[in-house]
């Protein structure tokens, strides 16, 4: 794919700017997802995506505080190793009949990817301060993975045929 | 912070309040995201950009941006975009649409827009199906696709090859992108806009409703193994022999952009109208 490996941060400031970009993009994507579900009257999943958006916004704002800022920085267009940011969900994973379980599976996948990203950085050949900051962020993402796993246990697992619509809005003609 | 930096726009500033009505999972959401990222990357202003489209699912895109927009008639987006760019060369003109709109109904406009080489960018979101009219074969549909009731045994017709047509007709920039890689696609769109002349970007954008198997495109796409060439014969060989999933800029030419003089010396609308007087 055309997005190449992201540049490795050499300072804590660079690291925080990158972490901010990751959380900001993840929050924006959840907002996109919520809007898609709202347009398609899937309010239950829309609300869940809104919750996930708020969680990512909170994390984003926490990083903003660590950066010593009160106003958002201009987010650089980072290039990631994968096609999307390390915590950003792919548009193609959505379905208009999806259920909370599916939304949480997407969130779990994203949190796992974010953990892997920061964990790898924590082991990379970067200045010790950057490694320490990455380790801290990886721990936070590990906590998120745990929380999402607990959350998934509380929602029903979709039955086979969950995506079958008896009155499909777009039946082939 | 200087005034210019403060005024720089973020991708979200190019998104309007109108929410897309595409099916969740549709690749076009991603393309919209890439377009807004490209505009922000190029530090464009909403008032200096026009997004022009034809008809179809993907052609809804002008309404979802805060730029000037024109949702035109079927297949005629390039005609509108060409006229706009010639009259207002100061604008960045992006023409967008789908494979049915661009290659069937608008096929002739496509060829001649490549030939004219006006400085605009044409994005085709190719999902190899007419989605808005509920799933009929388009020019790029595989001959053996049997899921439409109109062509239950497939069309049996060879697919249209837009990149080859674009090259043969004189497009100055030719690239293929994939909606599942929004950041990479944004870079390609930005490069297309930056390159003078007619830039053509074919974006593989899955239709998850009528072509659900296209979800697997993410496993098929790969970086083009070679750098872009400016040699048309080399580009032709590459494009004709590739597997249709090579992603990247494939050809960048050096043709002179077509921009006739406007203003002084050109006939004004009133003069032209007078010529038709009986």
Q: Which of A43, A107, A91 is nearest to B24 (CA)?
A: A91
Q: For an interface test with A, give the residue of B131, B183, B219, B246 to mutate (most A CBs within 10 A).
A: B183
Phi, psi at B249, each rounded to 5°: -80, 125
CB contact under 8 A, A96 and B148: no
| Residues 6+ away with beta carbon under 8 Å from B275 | none
Residues of B in contact with A30 (CB under 8 A): none
User: Among all residues of chain A, which has the CA nearest to that of B5?
Assistant: A74
* pLDDT average, residue stretch B222-247: 94
CB contact under 8 A, A173 and B135: yes
- The closest CB to that of B24, out of A75, A77, A96, belongs to A96
H-type alpha helices, chain A? 12-39, 43-66, 100-122, 128-153
The answer, yes or no, to whether residue B21 has pLDDT greater than 50, is yes
Give the pLDDT score at B267.
67
CA pair distance B242, A74, nearest whole angstrom: 39
Give the pLDDT score at B266.
60
CB contact under 8 A, A95 and B5: no
Give the pLDDT score at A169.
66
Instruction: Judge if pTM exceeds 0.80.
Output: yes
Average pLDDT, chain B: 93
Structure-token match 């950003």, residue found: A88
User: Among all residues of chain B, which has the CA nearest to that of A37?
Assistant: B24
C-alpha of B67 from chain center? 16
Residues of A in contact with B26 (CB under 8 A): 91
Q: A12-153: which CATH architecture?
A: Up-down Bundle (1.20)
Give the pLDDT score at B235.
96
Residue B99: its H or E element: helix B99-99
Contact A112, A105 (CB under 8 A): no
A1: number of CA atoms within 13 Å, CB side? 24
CB contact under 8 A, B248 and A38: no
Q: What percent of chain B has pLDDT over 90?
A: 87
Confidence category of residue B271, pLDDT binned at 50, 70, 90 = confident
β-bridge mates for residue B61, sequence order: none
Q: A133: distance to nearest CA of chain B, Å?
A: 26
| ipTM of the shown complex | 0.89
Q: Count of CB contacts below 8 A, A vs B? A: 105
- The closest CB to that of A173, out of B12, B27, B149, belongs to B149
CA pair distance A86, A70, nearest whole angstrom: 24
* pLDDT average, residue stretch B95-119: 97
**Which value, in Å, is the radius of gyration of the alpha carbons in chain A?**
18
Instruction: Pick one of 3.40.50.620, 3.40.50.970, 3.20.20.70, 1.20.120.1200 as the CATH number of B26-275.
Output: 3.40.50.970
The pLDDT profile of chain A, 173 residues, written as one tens digit per residue, is 444 456 789 999 999 999 999 999 999 999 999 999 999 999 999 999 999 999 999 999 999 999 999 888 877 777 787 788 999 999 999 999 999 999 999 999 999 999 999 999 999 999 999 999 999 999 999 999 999 999 999 999 999 999 998 887 666 54
* pLDDT average, residue stretch B264-271: 68
Q: What are the structural domain ranges in chain A?
A: 12-153
E strands in chain B: 49-53, 68-71, 92-98, 121-126, 173-178, 199-204, 222-223, 246-252
Q: A127: distance to nearest CA of chain B, Å?
A: 28
Residues of B in contact with A36 (CB under 8 A): 19-20, 22, 24, 29
Q: Lowest-pLDDT range, A5-14, A43-52, B137-146, B203-212?
A: A5-14
CB contact under 8 A, B206 and A95: no
């Amino acid at each position: 794919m055309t997005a190449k490996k992201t540049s490795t941060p050499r300072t804590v400031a660079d690291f925080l700017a990158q972490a901010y970009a990751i959380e900001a993009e993840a929050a924006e994507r959840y907002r996109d997802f919520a809007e898609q579900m709202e347009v398609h009257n899937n309010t239950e999943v829309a609300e869940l995506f809104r919750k996930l958006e708020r969680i990512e916004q909170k994390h984003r704002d926490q990083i903003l505080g660590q950066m010593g800022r009160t106003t958002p920085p201009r987010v650089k267009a980072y290039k990631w190793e994968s096609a999307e940011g390390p915590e950003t969900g792919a548009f193609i994973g959505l379905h208009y009949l999806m259920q909370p379980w599916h939304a949480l599976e997407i969130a779990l996948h994203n949190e796992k990817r974010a953990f892997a990203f920061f964990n790898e950085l924590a082991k990379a050949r970067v200045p010790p301060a950057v490694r320490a900051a990455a380790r801290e962020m990886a721990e936070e993402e590990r906590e998120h993975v745990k929380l999402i796993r607990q959350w998934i246990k509380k929602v029903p697992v979709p039955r086979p045929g969950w995506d079958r619509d008896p009155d499909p809005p777009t039946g082939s003609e | 912070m200087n005034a210019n930096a403060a005024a720089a726009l973020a991708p979200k500033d190019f998104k309007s309040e109108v929410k897309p009505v595409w099916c969740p999972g549709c690749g076009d959401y991603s393309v919209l995201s890439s377009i807004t990222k490209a505009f922000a990357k190029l530090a464009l202003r909403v008032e200096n950009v026009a997004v022009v489209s034809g008809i179809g699912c993907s052609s809804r895109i002008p309404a979802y941006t805060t730029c000037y927009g024109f949702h035109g008639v079927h297949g005629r987006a390039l005609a509108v975009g060409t006229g706009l760019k010639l009259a207002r060369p100061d604008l960045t003109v992006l023409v967008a649409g789908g494979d049915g709109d661009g290659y069937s109904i608008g096929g002739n406009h496509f060829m001649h827009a490549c030939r004219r080489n006006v400085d605009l960018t044409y994005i085709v979101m190719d999902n190899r199906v007419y989605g808005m009219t509920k799933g009929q074969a388009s020019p790029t549909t595989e001959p053996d696709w049997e899921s439409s009731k109109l062509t239950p045994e497939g069309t049996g017709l060879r697919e249209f090859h837009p990149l080859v047509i674009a090259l043969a007709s004189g497009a100055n920039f030719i690239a293929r992108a994939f909606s599942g890689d929004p950041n990479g696609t944004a870079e390609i769109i930005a490069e297309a806009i930056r390159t003078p002349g007619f830039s053509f970007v074919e974006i593989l954008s899955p239709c998850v409703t009528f072509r659900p198997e296209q979800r697997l495109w993410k496993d098929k796409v790969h970086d083009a193994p070679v750098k872009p060439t400016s040699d048309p014969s080399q580009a032709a060989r590459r494009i004709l022999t590739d597997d249709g999933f090579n992603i990247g800029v494939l050809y960048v030419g050096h043709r002179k952009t077509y921009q006739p003089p406007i203003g002084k010396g050109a006939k004004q609308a009133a003069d032209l109208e007078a010529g038709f007087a009986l």
